[in-house]
Amino acid sequence: MLKAGFLILLLTFSGVRIDGIVATVDDEVILISDIREEVAPLLADLRSKGLSQEEIQSEIDNATKKALDRYIERLLLYRKAINLGLQVDEKEIDDKVERIKRKYGSPEEFERLLKESGETFSEFRERVKQQLIALSFANQKRRDFEKEITISEPDILKYYNEHTEEFSHPQRVLVRRIFLSAPKNSPERESVRKRIYEIYEQIQKEGADFKELASSVSEGPEADQKGLIGWISKGDLIPELEEFVNKASVGEVSKPIETEWGFHILKVEERQEAGVIPYEQARLLIEPKLKENYVNERYQKWIDELKKEARIRIFL
């Protein structure tokens, strides 16, 4: 039988409409088309990397196996959830469907791609429903496992003493940013330049709150955190931004900084010399981490037990 990675490679790069069985779970068949959507983002990325055929094949094989494993896990979770009578609200399904549709830019584009995939809208919605039920059940099990564990103070102290490298840090600066996107050759570049200087004037002359402005106008991913990029060490930023950060005093706001991608205003919130995070601060990070580690291990063991109970055959 042809490798699943090779089937997807043909399907995606040559436009040949083929399918094949990649696995069975008890009496249910899993096809290449069932896992196509999960592998699709990687395939789009591979096109732009200029990789050799062998490198592409290797990437696809690895991604296919991971996607298939996720699909099998979701299928087992869904079946278990249905047997227990677990359902999700119809509105939650519709909301999820609408969020997915919006990613395609227009209803027409979504319909076109759905038709190309050979899937009807009702089949697509049913797949979303199954995914939501599986996810809801997985989250419920994780919450159950979390209730099993209590992290003691000696556990936390032991982790701190055995992982000192995790809590050591170089000299660093806490930075916020306001960013307006305007690629170098964009026709909007000049209007965006004007806008960033208006924002700078609001901060410097009108006393506008940097954090609130970052939340409302910044186009960077940190906007949801009121512009907080986080702790920055030497080499973390591009030279144009690092030059300001290296010299600025705490509380200082930069003039608009122009880069290839747009315009930035930075603010230095805090400076720290190289050192080790004290235990009292570190324990706030360690306790949830130890809980998460336990839950992940317990959850994976449970999933492995579900897989052993099923009759799974994989044809890769």
Asked if residue 316 belongs to a domain, the reply is no
Q: How many structural domains does the chain have?
A: 3
Tens digit of each residue's pLDDT (9 = 90 or more) over 122-176: 988 998 999 999 999 999 999 999 999 999 999 999 999 999 999 998 899 999 9
Q: Which region holds residue 247: left if phi is over 0, alpha if psi is between -120 and 50, else beta?
A: alpha
Q: What is the span of the domain harbouring residue 236?
A: 171-273
Residue-level pLDDT at 4:
42
- Here the CATH number for the domain that contains residue 28 is 1.10.4030.10
pLDDT of residue 45: 63
Q: With respect to residue 186, please indicate whether it lies within any of the assigned structural domains.
A: yes
Are 219 and 181 within 8 A, CB to CB? yes
Could you tell me if 11 and 32 lie in one domain? yes
Task: Show the low-confidence residues of the chain (pLDDT under 70).
Answer: 1-19, 37, 40-50, 316
Half-sphere exposure (Cβ direction) of 314: Cα atoms closer than 13 Å? 13
pLDDT at 144: 96
**Does the pTM of the predicted model rise above 0.85?**
no
Residues 297 and 259 in one domain: no
Judgement on whether residues 234 and 249 belong to the same structural domain of the protein: yes
**Amino acid identity of 30?**
I
Q: Per DSSP, what are the bridge partners of residue 34? A: none
Residue 292 lies in a domain: yes
| Angle subtended at Cα 195 by Cα 189 and Cα 201, rounded to the nearest 5 degrees | 140
Co-location of 223 and 255 in the same domain: yes
Question: In terms of domains, do 112 and 201 share one?
Answer: no
Q: Are residues 20 and 128 in the same domain?
A: yes
Three-state DSSP class for residue 292: helix
CB 176 within 8 Å of CB 214: yes
**pLDDT number for residue 176:** 96
